[in-house]
Amino acid sequence: MSTAPHDTPDDPSAAAPLVALIVAAGRGTRMGGNRPKQYHDLQGQPVLRHAIRALWDAATFEQTIVVIHRDDVALAKAALGDLEDRVILAYGGETRSASVQAGLAAVSNPRAHVLIHDAARPFVAARIVQDVIMALRAPECTAAAPALPMADALWRAADGYVSEIQHRDGIFRAQTPQGFHYTAISAAYAATSGEAADDVAIALAHGVKVKVVAGDEQNFKLTTAQDFSRATQVIRAQNTMDIRVGNGFDVHAFCDGDHVILCGVTIPHERALKGHSDADVGLHTVTDAIYGALAAGDIGTHFPPSDPQWKGAASDIFLRHAVAMAAERGYIISHVDLTFLCEAPKIGPVAAQMRAQLAGLLQIAVDRVSVKATTTEQLGFTGRKEGIAALATATLVRK
């Protein structure tokens, strides 16, 4: 079922703003060269920029805070480029824990859910970010982090020889982003004076339970020159032919009114469509199809229905966001096919106008947009004229 703003139940936790806190103050140079690894070039872009983009491709953040070393201001600004005006820079401390605390001090909303991510993990998948966010929105969950179960045998060694076998059951390899309710992680850090392996360790020491979500082998941390070579291969593989297909489905019930809005076209009708936004079932469906092709959640992921700013909003806002996200990830929208399921209003007379409107929003030619309709032979809720359903397929091709 779609979780677009019109049909997702209100959830106070879901309305919490998101903050991305990216730790980039380390001095690690094991990858070689005379600059920290987060500023190394990775197929035309600094590692830090890749990491930020990966988070932004997955969710909408109210703040993005990048914690840097005081000596790296010029490097950071060069790496950010045109992203700089969307990022808050904070100065880190002598340890990672001190740097995270500096980043937490820059969070403006105490209701926020904060995702703390290593700048040296440029390939975090949207699915991981969204799983962490969804875990944080669940009742009684204040912390969540991705991890991979240990598959290899584990040994302890002394003097170069195996001394004992370590059982691997329940052993995980930690990844980032590690997500927390701001109040929980800030209190944990305030109560900690020493250094810890990661933010989860700080949280556990303060009694915070941390939910584990599935990590991904590709979400590896760049540490050595070998890691950098592996990263280069990942980028090259991503730049090969890549065709994505996504599906969208949405339903809206009729309510009192004298018109409906479909694909941005106002159509006189004896009823209106009920929804949190303007209830444009056509645009909602196409938007979700694009998000689906990008594996980037749905409308509710990016525009929570419990956020009052989206009440009555024009649905082209959502579609423009999905189109921009596709472009940022290097995709063009090749084709969209939209089908309405309804008895009324009649779609045929306005289908050409809808196609033109969609083509403009999608930034593609009209002959790459299909809009059509069918009835359900008077069966089901659409057959009883209780509402309109729509389904769409979007095809994306990497540039």
Report pLDDT digits (tens) over 253-293. Answer: 999 999 999 999 999 998 889 887 788 999 999 999 999 99
For residue 237, pLDDT over 80 is answered with no
Residue type, 255: C
Task: Examine the domain organization and report whether 299 and 385 are in the same domain.
Answer: yes
For residue 384, the one-letter residue type is R
The C-alpha atoms of residue 382 and residue 174 are separated, in whole angstroms, by: 48
Instruction: Please compute, for residue 360, the number of CA atoms within 13 A of its CA located in the half-sphere on the CB side.
Output: 9
Structure token digits, residue 263:
């694909």
**pLDDT band at residue 11 using 50, 70 and 90 as cut-offs:** very low
Q: Is residue 8 part of a domain?
A: no
State mean pLDDT over 2-27: 66
Quote the pLDDT of residue 304: 83
Residues 23 and 150 placed together within one structural domain of the fold: yes
Q: Pick from 238, 263, 290: which residue ends a domain? A: 238
Report d(CA 230, CA 211) in Å as an integer: 29
Tell me, yes or no, whether 218 and 247 share the same domain.
no
Q: How many domains does the chain have?
A: 2
pLDDT score for 38: 94
Q: Which residues contact 357 (CB under 8 A, 6 or more apart)?
A: 263, 264, 265
93: number of Cβ within 10 Å? 15
- Shared domain for 229 and 256, answered yes or no, is no
Nearest 5 degrees, angle CA 344-CA 349-CA 350?
90
Instruction: Please tell me whether residues 321 and 224 are part of one structural domain.
Output: no
Which residue, of 169, 203, 238, is where some domain finishes?
A: 238
Q: Identify which has the larger pLDDT, 82 or 33.
A: 82
Q: Is the pLDDT of residue 39 over 80?
A: yes
- Structural domain span for residue 365: 243-398
pLDDT value for 33: 63
Same domain, 172 and 285: no
Taking only Cα atoms into account, the Rg of the chain, rounded to an integer number of angstroms, comes to 24
Query: What is the model's pLDDT at position 12?
Result: 44
Sequence-distant (≥ 6) Cβ neighbours of residue 252 within 8 angstroms = 6, 7, 273, 274, 275, 279, 281, 387, 388
Query: What mean pLDDT comes out for the span 189-200?
Result: 89
Q: How much is the mean pLDDT over the chain?
A: 90
**Is there a single domain that holds both residue 297 and residue 218?**
no
pTM for the structure as a whole = 0.63
Structural domain ending residue among the three candidates 209, 238, 267: 238
**Phi, psi values for residue 351, rounded to 5°:** -60, -40
Residue 15 has pLDDT above 80, yes or no: no
pLDDT in tens, 142-191: 999 999 999 888 899 999 999 999 888 889 999 999 999 999 999 999 99
Confidence band for 6, pLDDT divided at 50, 70 and 90: very low
Q: How confident is the model at residue 308 (pLDDT cuts 50, 70, 90)?
A: confident
Asked whether the predicted pLDDT for residue 9 surpasses 60, the reply is: no
If asked whether residues 47 and 193 sit together in one domain, one would say: yes
pLDDT of res. 32: 56
**Interval 114-139 mean pLDDT:** 95
CATH assignment of the domain containing 35: 3.90.550.10
Q: 199 with 231, same domain?
A: yes
| Cα–Cα distances in angstroms (integers) from residue 360 to residues 301, 334, 365, 398, in the given order | 24, 13, 8, 20
| 341 and 283 belong to one structural domain | yes
Amino acid at 351: A
Residue 90 confidence (pLDDT): 97
Co-location of 158 and 302 in the same domain: no
pLDDT at residue 14 greater than cutoff 80: no
Same domain? For 291 and 170 the reply is: no
CATH code, domain carrying 340: 3.30.1330.50
